[in-house]
Amino acid sequence: MSFVLVQVIVGGLLLGAVYALFSSGLTLVWGMMNIVNFAHGDFVMLGMYVAYVVYTLMGGGPILGAPLATLVLATVGVVVYFALIRDIMKGPMLAQILGTFGLALLLRYSVFWWFGANFLSMPPNIVGGTYDFAGLRIEASRLLAGVVALLVTFGLHLLLTRTSLGSKMLAVAEDQTAAQLMGIRPDTMQAVAWAIAAGATGLAGALIANFFYIVPTVGETLGIVAFVTVSLGGFGSVPGALVAGLLIGVIESLSGYLIGAVYKDIVVYVLFLFFLWFRPQGLMGKM
């Protein structure tokens, strides 16, 4: 195995961890309430802009930007839940799709109006440059995003499976009426789920902002990847999203390097469809 190939695989793993990070919020909302949030990519975008504003106003790097983006987006999540999601959940599937899609456009073009269409970028090396391990190059900002992705995914998994809050959330997801009879308020639990999901997404955005460009339409580019990751990993499965993210990252990098970048999406989607043929519930999803 050539040395370049090692670099390709390491790059793919780091990229995949980031895919996993920004997909975990989507899979959570999907699993909890069966809502497809088309505004998900734009939540990532908002997180990026929060990080950018924190940087320009206070000069703070990710230490300040990431927690603030998490808080701001968690708040946005709760507001969106009470203002929009709670009502459209009662409507037909189409209302949910169009509702969140409308939200996506509203967020995108609000940012567009406020910040303009220009591409923005965090200053290079805001997170300590690039490490060189005997020629193998790892960007500190990507490494940070990858490590946080693993921690957040693990944390979300623990929260859902090991805490009473998690059990309550899952109970609401399983059967709302039964949960209500047990004294659990579905409204509160779902609002909490939205806060967590949107917060994690904001965190992802703030971390991605350190090595990606920032533009109002960036949610379009990133949103599609999140959907593929979540369906491959299994709807509602947080560990599934992690494995799927890493897989897609490595497959994309390898096929991009070995076969050619224009073919990499073909490879990814052929494998994706082929896989769903055998296992429509995804890697770790339940039927």
Partner 1 sequence: MNFKHVTGLLCAAAMSLAVGSVAQAQDKVVKIGAILPMSGGTASIGAHAKAALDVAMDIINNPHPELGNFPLAKGAGLAGLGGAKVEVVIADNQGNPATGQNQALRLITEEKVAALFGSYQSGVTLTSSAIAEKYGVPFLNSESVASNLTERGFKWFFRTTPIATDFAKIYVDFLADIKAQGAKTDAVALVHDNTEYGTSVANTIAAAFKEKGQPVALDIAYPVNATDVQGQVLQLKDKKPDVVIMISYTSDAILFAKTMQSLDYKPAVLLADDAGYSDPSFTKAVGKISQGVFNRSSWVVGPSGSPSAIIADMYKKKSGEEMDDTVARQMQGFFVLAEAIDRAGSTEPAKVQAALKATDLKPEQLMIGYKGVKFDDKGQNILASGAIIQLQDGENYVSVWPKANAEKPPVLPYKGW
Applying CB under 8 A, the residues found at the interface with partner 1 are: 4, 7-8, 11-12, 15, 109, 112, 116-121, 124, 130, 132, 137, 139, 142, 211-213, 215-217, 220-222, 225, 252-254, 256-257, 260-262, 264-265
CA distance 160 to 171: 10
Name which of 91 and 128 has its Cβ closer to partner 1. Answer: 128
Q: Quote the least distance from Cβ 125 to partner 1, whole Å.
A: 9
Q: Residue 163 has what DSSP assignment?
A: S
Beta-bridge partners for 120: 214
Name which of 93 and 136 has its Cβ closer to partner 1. Answer: 136
Q: Quote the least distance from Cβ 60 to partner 1, whole Å.
A: 19
Name which of 34 and 110 has its Cβ closer to partner 1. Answer: 110
Q: Quote the least distance from Cβ 176 to partner 1, whole Å.
A: 37
Name which of 191 and 247 has its Cβ closer to partner 1. Answer: 247
Q: Quote the least distance from Cβ 236 to partner 1, whole Å.
A: 24
What are the start-end ranges of the H helices in the chain?
3-33, 40-58, 62-80, 86-88, 93-115, 140-162, 164-174, 176-181, 186-208, 218-233, 238-258, 261-278
Q: Quote the least distance from Cβ 174 to partner 1, whole Å.
A: 35
Q: Quote the least distance from Cβ 124 to partner 1, whole Å.
A: 5
Q: Which of 206, 197, 165, 185 is nearest to 37 (CA)?
A: 197
Task: Read off the tokens for 85.
Answer: 């999601």
Q: Which of 28, 51, 66 is nearest to 226 (CA)?
A: 28
Name which of 15 and 204 has its Cβ closer to partner 1. Answer: 15
Name which of 33 and 225 has its Cβ closer to partner 1. Answer: 225
Please write down the HEC assignment for all residues of 4-71. HHHHHHHHHHHHHHHHHHHHHHHHHHHHHHCCCCCCHHHHHHHHHHHHHHHHHHHCCCHHHHHHHHHH
Name which of 2 and 177 has its Cβ closer to partner 1. Answer: 2
Q: Which of 35, 24, 21 is nearest to 81 (CA)?
A: 35
Q: Quote the least distance from Cβ 283 to partner 1, whole Å.
A: 21
